Structure 1
Amino acid sequence: MKKNKCCRVCGNDFFAEPILHYKNMPKSAQFLPDLAALSSEKGIDLEICECMGCRLVQLNSEPVAYYKDVIRAAAFSEDMEKFRIKQFSDFFKKYSLKGQKIIEIGCGKGEYLSIMQQCGAEAYGLEHLSESVAQCINQGLKVEQGYIDNGSYTLKQAPFAAFFILNFFEHFPDPNSALKGIYNNLAPNAIGIVEVPNFDMILRNKLFSEFIPDHIFYFTKKTLTTTLHLNGFDIIDCSEIWHDFIISATVKKGRRMDLSSFYQHQTKIKDEMDRYISQFKQKSVAVWGASHQALAIISLADLSNKIRYVVDSAPFKQGKYTSATHIPIVAPVMLNIDPVDAIIIMAASYSDEVARIVRQKFDKNINVSILRDFGLEIV
């Protein structure tokens, strides 16, 4: 059997040795052997490994053959049905999901999907096992056959306002691709619930019998939220439910940062410097500072043909040129040798100190300004 050598989520290596090694374990949780199969049926070895990076605990073996299918025994529990009715009703009310399109990823035979529909959502399901899909459709449920295994996977009724993965996520051999595919089928600000068996509780109670080939991953609250966050979801809540046997994470579709204000601030700074420089004769203004910030500002403010030279106290920079804009970098003494009418100081936390040096050691008539975070200040 092929063994996985690195984390399926973050890509880091496992610790050199498995944290547990169990022999003669059941080869699956489903499809139990009948009498005729006993002579050839054998157990397997399970190696449980821990990622050195994200610390996610996982099997290093291949998934079971039916990993795409949802097979639920919990559906036969009256207590679980009551629990789900309350959970979904409260969730739909809190996030205004009644009448909204929601989807359960891995809906099995529609055990939970039918409850979601009863609770007022426009409920859809995705299920791989064809027999389960047919049973859902016969119940009047809206289910399509499929399995999300890549980021470009398209769901027919997308986008959805919410999604659910209920005790199925731990079966995914490639959770990153699945989560990316789900993310790309959601509406902006969509909400979701992801539930998995509670490895925090398993650790607390030393439940050594909880390891099975069907479950590739064993999530704690920390490793579950890390996995979801790495794939673009913001964590709203993560808690233990159902007698602490389940971790339930409520998530929101994350949005990339909006840094358009950076462009606006850049324009403001450029305009202020242009107005300042325009007061003096052509190329009679210098800049003090050849830090990476100053070099970026010179370039982004398009100062290459407006500045005579750049002053810097660091000897290793003197005699060189600014990158991209090609303005000569000179020693401070150049202010005496080749005087300028004005100087813009771009020295960050050292700017006030540089301004004092200019006033004390160079032409007292030189016009001095400091580029602050908020803009240009004449001093």
Structure 2
Amino acid sequence: MTTPADTSAHRTCDACGEDKLVPFADLGEIPVLCGVHWEAHGDAVASGVGRMHLAACPRCAYVRNIAFEPDKLVYDTTMDTNLHFSPAFQKFSAELVESLNERYDLGGKLVLDIGCGQGEFLRELTHVSGAGGVGYDAMYAGEVGEQGGVTFHSAFAPRGGGLPRYDFFTSRHWFEHIDDPYEFLVDLREQAQGREVFGYVEVPDAVYDLATAGWEVIYPHVSYFDAYSLATIFGRAGWTVESTGTLFSGMFRYIEVSANRPRAGGHAAHTGELPSLRARDKQLAAIAGFSERHHAERTKWRDTIARLDADGARPVLWGAGSRGVQFLTLADRELALSAVVDLNPRKWGRFLPVTGHRVDPPSTLTTLQPKAVVITNPAYKEEIAKSLADLGVTAEILVA
């Protein structure tokens, strides 16, 4: 009997379409629904797992989970991947809104947001710019329909001519979830119907994720893009790459693109260095060392948590997002951590997939008084340090 990885072992690269993907890391079974938080502990522990078997293209450095099974994932309003409860992320998002509006003069235009989450970014962008907006996301749990010039759909963006007549599209942290990313880009360009359009796409940066422990290598993320492979897939799909770079402490990779743009047009594109073979080689180096590094980090953190627990440090994890869920699955299946806390009140009192850790509000740390706080995202270290001080907690912050 063949496994999903066996049937995909000779898959052609989704990005360049030229070479075969070569397996390089098998992480085993990990949580599928890492963005869902259960009311009942038993349901959380019994939630589904899927295999993570990474393969890379030797030509363009694109990475994909070749064991991915799309039928395992259900995107609906029970998922909560909202990052806007963090002041640091709010600031980053607000600065991005100002930058895009300034450079693309969005007033009076229609912005399409594919994978809009709970709509915070699209609302802010349209408010600041005076643009109209349409957002699509199967996880959107708010009011559906038109709201002050912005229309939200709790559904996937339609293919094959169903989109509104957009001028600018955004897609933040959704592109990596798509089973056939090339087909998506071709369809999106064709739905522009020959009009000049621009776009901004943001994904986790694969060089960062694969050069570290890989806590963001999660089941919903089918694809992993660095600068070179991201520019490659957009170019192959008929888009013109205007710029690419990293944001948010190097964790996020953005790309700005256009279609049907006259080369003599007056639009001033965002300046940035386009990817080179050197960028690709940096990703290939991260790929080469990832499997050994990832498994070593698993062992290191299991041992570290056990030691802290034995020493009476009452270690806790701050952050119950996808990175935290992956970390807990791989490093604390024994539930040696004294608590898991998160800023998002929708998670409080609920349980995380597979391990069954309960999520509590940060205020519980005032009573617990841990001596060690583990975080999986260094971009939030300063923010968390301030929160701990405000709570009267003196603890060492350990970045996993």
Structure 1 contact 113–123 (Cα < 8 Å) conserved: no
Whether 1:194 aligns to 2:196 is: no
- State the Cα distance separating 1:10 from its structure 2 match: 4.1
What is the alpha-carbon distance in structure 2 between the residues aligned to residue 181 and residue 68 of structure 1? 23
Whether 1:21 aligns to 2:26 is: yes
Secondary structure in 1 matching 2:97: helix
2:4 maps to which of 2, 7, 29:
2
Q: 1:227/1:15 Cα in 2 relative to 1: closer, same or farther (>3 Å)? A: closer
What is the alpha-carbon distance in structure 1 between the residues aligned to residue 228 and residue 134 of structure 2? 28
Q: 1:176/1:42 Cα in 2 relative to 1: closer, same or farther (>3 Å)? A: closer
Show the 5 A alignment for 1:168-247.
Answer: 168-186=174-192, 188-204=195-211, 206-247=212-253
Aligned AA for 2:178?
F
Structure 2 contact 14–233 (Cα < 8 Å) conserved: no
What is the alpha-carbon distance in structure 1 between the residues aligned to residue 123 and residue 93 of structure 2? 11
1:91 maps to which of 76, 81, 100:
100
Secondary structure in 2 matching 1:81: helix
Whether 1:107 aligns to 2:112 is: no
What is the alpha-carbon distance in structure 1 between the residues aligned to residue 146 and residue 174 of structure 2? 21
Alpha-carbon displacement from aligned partner over 1:288-337 (angstroms, at most 9, x marks no partner) = xxxxxxxxxxxxxxxxxxxxxxxxxxxxxxxxxxxxxxxxxxxxxxxxxx
Secondary structure in 1 matching 2:74: coil
Structure 2 contact 114–135 (Cα < 8 Å) conserved: yes
Aligned to 2:86: 77
User: Where in structure 2 are there 5+ consecutive unaligned residues?
Assistant: 264-400
Aligned to 1:123: 132
Question: How many residues get paired?
Answer: 253
Q: 1:139/1:100 Cα in 2 relative to 1: closer, same or farther (>3 Å)? A: closer
Whether 1:153 aligns to 2:155 is: no
Aligned to 2:363: none
- State the Cα distance separating 1:55 from its structure 2 match: 2.7
Report the TM-score when normalising by structure 2. 0.56
Secondary structure in 2 matching 1:112: helix
- State the Cα distance separating 1:48 from its structure 2 match: 0.7
Structure 2 contact 35–81 (Cα < 8 Å) conserved: no
Aligned AA for 1:154?
G
Structure 1 contact 12–52 (Cα < 8 Å) conserved: no
Q: 1:208/1:108 Cα in 2 relative to 1: closer, same or farther (>3 Å)? A: closer
- The farther-off stretch of 179-188 and 83-92 is 179-188
Root-mean-square deviation (CA, aligned residues, Å) is: 3.0
What is the alpha-carbon distance in structure 2 between the residues aligned to residue 177 and residue 44 of structure 1? 24
Alpha-carbon displacement from aligned partner over 1:150-188 (angstroms, at most 9, x marks no partner) = 4x2321x31x22110111110011112211222133363
Secondary structure in 1 matching 2:200: strand
Structure 2 contact 62–225 (Cα < 8 Å) conserved: yes
- The farther-off stretch of 39-48 and 245-254 is 39-48
Structure with higher Rg: it is: 1
What is the alpha-carbon distance in structure 2 between the residues aligned to residue 170 and residue 218 of structure 1? 7
- The farther-off stretch of 221-230 and 31-40 is 31-40
- State the Cα distance separating 1:65 from its structure 2 match: 1.8
Aligned to 2:326: none
Aligned AA for 1:193?
Y
What is the alpha-carbon distance in structure 1 between the residues aligned to residue 104 and residue 222 of structure 2? 31
Q: 1:68/1:35 Cα in 2 relative to 1: closer, same or farther (>3 Å)? A: closer
Q: 1:91/1:27 Cα in 2 relative to 1: closer, same or farther (>3 Å)? A: closer
Aligned to 1:66: 74
Q: 1:255/1:38 Cα in 2 relative to 1: closer, same or farther (>3 Å)? A: closer
Secondary structure in 2 matching 1:113: helix
Structure 1 contact 199–220 (Cα < 8 Å) conserved: yes
- State the Cα distance separating 1:118 from its structure 2 match: 1.3
- State the Cα distance separating 1:94 from its structure 2 match: 1.6
What is the alpha-carbon distance in structure 2 between the residues aligned to residue 88 and residue 22 of structure 1? 37
Show the 5 A alignment for 1:300-379.
Answer: none
Structure 1 contact 221–247 (Cα < 8 Å) conserved: yes
Structure 2 contact 25–54 (Cα < 8 Å) conserved: yes
Alpha-carbon displacement from aligned partner over 1:99-126 (angstroms, at most 9, x marks no partner) = 2111111112211111111112423223
- State the Cα distance separating 1:86 from its structure 2 match: 2.2
What is the alpha-carbon distance in structure 2 between the residues aligned to residue 38 and residue 106 of structure 1? 25
Identity %: 20
What is the alpha-carbon distance in structure 2 between the residues aligned to residue 87 and residue 56 of structure 1? 26
Report the TM-score when normalising by structure 1. 0.59
Q: 1:226/1:65 Cα in 2 relative to 1: closer, same or farther (>3 Å)? A: same
**Bigger RCO (CA 8 Å, 6+ sep):** 2
